[in-house]
Each structure stands twice: as C-alpha cells, then as structure tokens.
C-alpha cells in the first residue's frame, strides 16, 4: 500500500495551523486548538476513523471561535485530499448512521473529487460550553469543500453535545469506510478512470 499521509500548514491573519494526517493509522490524536469542544470532536474523529491526527492551531480566540473552527476544517480537508492522492483503488462510497444516546446522525459520503454539502436537522441547544453549535455544520461544509467530498449529513436528538459528537463519529466511520483500499481495484472507482 502506498503512503497515505499528509502535512498541511495554514497561515492567515486569523490563525496559524499545522495538521498531519495518516489515513491508515491507529487512531492516535494530538489536538490543541484552544477550543475544548473542538479538540474533543477531533479526538473522537481520529479514534473512530482510525486516523493518526495531529492538529495545532493558534487562533484569534479573543474574537470568537469561528475562525479557528473554519480554518481547522479547511486544513484538515486539504490534508484528507492530499493523503488520498489520485484516489486509486478506494471504495469511494459510504453510508453510516451513528447513535449517541438519544441522538442519531447519518452520513452519506462520496469521495468524488466534487465538493458538495447538504445538511438536515437542527441542534437542540445554541451552544455546547463555549462552542457555538452552528459551527459544527460550518465545519462539515468547509471540510467537504476542501477534501473534495460529496457529503450529506443529518442529525436528530435533544442534546446538542450528543448530536454534534454523533456527526463527527459518523463522519469518521464513513470516511474510514470510503477511503479503504479495495484490492480488486487498481484505478480510481469511476467509469471516467479518474476522480
């Protein structure tokens, strides 16, 4: 198997970010964004996707957490895209539903090379600690755009912490499924021969 790793840096006037990713890891994570709930979600993402992930972000948290959340999603999306390379031999499609107590999230994913994002559902509380719940949806959109994924997500529940965590776990499991190598394939899984 080829090396499916990536290292991405992102420097803006709002954030300074370093991300490393191994799609074929063990679920080891080192995450330091300054946003506790985001760290928890990224740790869960790495654990349940079996991705080795390092994220370090120094963001303008004196403003709010928006730029940090958005830019981490952009950098992680770029890392996923880089690690996938030409996407040869991958399964490509995945569909996962993940519960967390009363909450359930559904993720339908195509590692297509064509960015698209759709979302159904509402978060039950506007905030989880100091994390604005709506930013979870924005994170998924930014990640899908920069990883060049077609991503459909839905969520229902009565606790926003559980709803968001179910989304991140579902994304992790679906991305692990879709990016696995199918030994029967040598090329990209497309009639075009490329993704």
Domain of residue 13, CATH code: 3.30.230.40
- State mean pLDDT over 53-74: 96
What lies within 8 Å, CB to CB, of 184 at 6+ separation is none
Asked if residue 194 belongs to a domain, the reply is no
Q: Which pLDDT does position 138 carry in this prediction? A: 98
- State mean pLDDT over 30-47: 98
Coil vs helix vs strand at 146: helix
Asked if residue 167 belongs to a domain, the reply is yes
Asked if residue 67 belongs to a domain, the reply is yes
Question: Quick one: pLDDT band at residue 183, thresholds 50, 70, 90?
Answer: confident
Q: Which pLDDT does position 103 carry in this prediction? A: 98
Average pLDDT, the chain: 95
Q: Which pLDDT does position 187 carry in this prediction? A: 73
Q: How many domains does the chain have?
A: 1
Asked if residue 157 belongs to a domain, the reply is yes
Least confident of 9-23, 68-82, 84-98, 178-192: 178-192
Asked if residue 24 belongs to a domain, the reply is yes
Asked if residue 135 belongs to a domain, the reply is yes
Q: What domain range includes position 22?
A: 5-179
Element (H, E) at 86: none
Asked if residue 191 belongs to a domain, the reply is no
pTM (two decimals): 0.94
Asked if residue 190 belongs to a domain, the reply is no
Inter-residue contact 96 to 106 (CB < 8 Å): yes
């Amino acid at each position: 198997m080829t090396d499916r790793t990536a290292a991405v840096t992102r420097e803006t006037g709002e954030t300074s970010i370093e991300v490393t990713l191994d799609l074929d890891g063990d679920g080891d994570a080192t995450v330091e964004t300054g946003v506790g709930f985001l760290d928890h979600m990224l740790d869960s993402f790495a654990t349940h996707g079996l991705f080795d992930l390092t994220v370090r972000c120094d963001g303008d948290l004196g403003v709010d957490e928006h730029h940090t959340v958005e830019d981490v999603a952009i950098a992680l999306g770029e890392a996923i895209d880089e690690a996938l390379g030409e996407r040869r031999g991958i399964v490509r499609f995945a569909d996962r539903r993940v519960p967390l107590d009363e909450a359930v999230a559904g993720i339908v994913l195509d590692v297509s090379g064509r960015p698209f994002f759709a979302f159904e559902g509402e978060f039950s509380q506007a905030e989880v600690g100091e994390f604005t719940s709506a930013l979870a949806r924005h994170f998924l959109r930014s990640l899908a755009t920069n990883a060049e994924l077609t991503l459909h997500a839905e969520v229902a529940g009565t606790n926003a912490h559980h709803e968001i965590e179910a989304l991140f776990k579902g994304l992790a499991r679906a991305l692990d499924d879709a990016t696995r190598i199918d030994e029967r394939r040598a090329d990209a899984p497309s009639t075009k021969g490329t993704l």
